[in-house]
Amino acid sequence: MYQTIGYEIEAGVAVITLDRPEVMNALSTLLRAEMLQAVLRAEAEARVLVITGAGRAFCSGQDLGDAADGIGGVLDLERVLNEEYVPLLKAITDCQIPTISAVNGAAAGAGANLALAADVVIASESASFIQAFTRIGLVPDAGGSYWLPRQIGLARAMGSILFADKVSAKQAADWGMIYETLPDQGFNAHWQARALSLANGPTLAYRGVKIALRASFGNDLDQQLALEARLQGVCGATEDFREGVAAFLEKRAAKFRGK
């Protein structure tokens, strides 16, 4: 069905695998289109979405050799970003289910920022993150200028972008850029277990968590407290809340249904 990505779903977990290992999963026009379709599909039929890469890299960023993109001028780049990257990034960040980036190797340029668009980023020890834009005379895109200052602070964001330094997975975790890093051995089993845990959790509560945390950057305290109350009112009326309370009182594991 897809030419540039893999798509699998099992036990409520949808996995999108960027599958152009011969070019380190570089982002072509076709890959972006297929990935957007797959993200929207996962949102409709899964309870968790995982994005990972085939081979030794997660994603090397924009495929500069992709003739379909018409690379070569500012206006072309602006069109590609607005028409192809923005819908994809918004689909990931606005996704109604939890999203995980399982970064299995190098993530560079737009590939690094694609990874950071997910709710949770888990990386193998051999993975790295590179804001490679200035190496070719560009500014960060694909959300990099938005995510990085919020995640690691202005000083580290500025330095990592200006110098285009390679940031190791361990350093990224220490800085707060990503959630955790794991040894390469057992990495896949770990993120799979993480994803399954979320798939078995209270889906509507997770949706509320995403809304509340993302809104907090633009809200004052009164607005955020009001949002919390509103979201809690919604969650308190769900079957999952009733099941969670019952499981707590009965000293058993909850069986959430996402309702």
pLDDT in tens, 101-147: 999 999 999 999 999 999 999 999 999 999 999 999 999 999 999 99
At 10, list the tokens.
Answer: 């099992």
Q: Is 190 helix (H, G, I), strand (E, B) or coil?
A: helix
- 144-152 and 154-162 helices, crossing angle to 10°: 130
Total domains in the fold of the chain: 2
Residues 165 and 127 in one domain: yes
Taking CA atoms, 194 is separated from 121, 169, 240, in Å, by: 11, 18, 20
**Which residues are CB-neighbours of 187 under 8 A, at least 6 positions away?**
102, 104, 124
Is residue 257 one of the residues assigned to a domain? no
* Nearest C-alpha neighbor of 2 from the set 21, 16, 12: 16
pLDDT(75) > 50: no
| pTM for the full predicted model | 0.92
Cα–Cα dist 112/11, whole Å: 28
pLDDT, mean over the chain: 94
Residues 100 and 215 in one domain: no
Residues 141 and 219 in one domain: no
Residues 34 and 115 in one domain: yes
Cα–Cα dist 43/55, whole Å: 25
* pLDDT band of 66, cuts 50, 70, 90: confident
Residues 92 and 217 in one domain: no
* pLDDT band of 77, cuts 50, 70, 90: confident
Residues 127 and 225 in one domain: no
Phi, psi (5° rounding) for residue 185?
A: -70, 120
What's residue 15's pLDDT?
A: 98
Cα–Cα dist 190/179, whole Å: 13
Residues 224 and 148 in one domain: no
CATH number at residue 222: 1.10.12
Burial of 195 (0-12, 13-18, 19+ CB in 10 A): buried
Are the C-beta atoms of 121 and 92 separated by less than 8 Å? no
* Nearest C-alpha neighbor of 92 from the set 103, 83, 101, 104: 101
Are the C-beta atoms of 121 and 58 separated by less than 8 Å? no
Cα–Cα dist 137/165, whole Å: 15
104, amino acid identity: N
Residues 212 and 167 in one domain: no
Domain limits at 218? 203-249
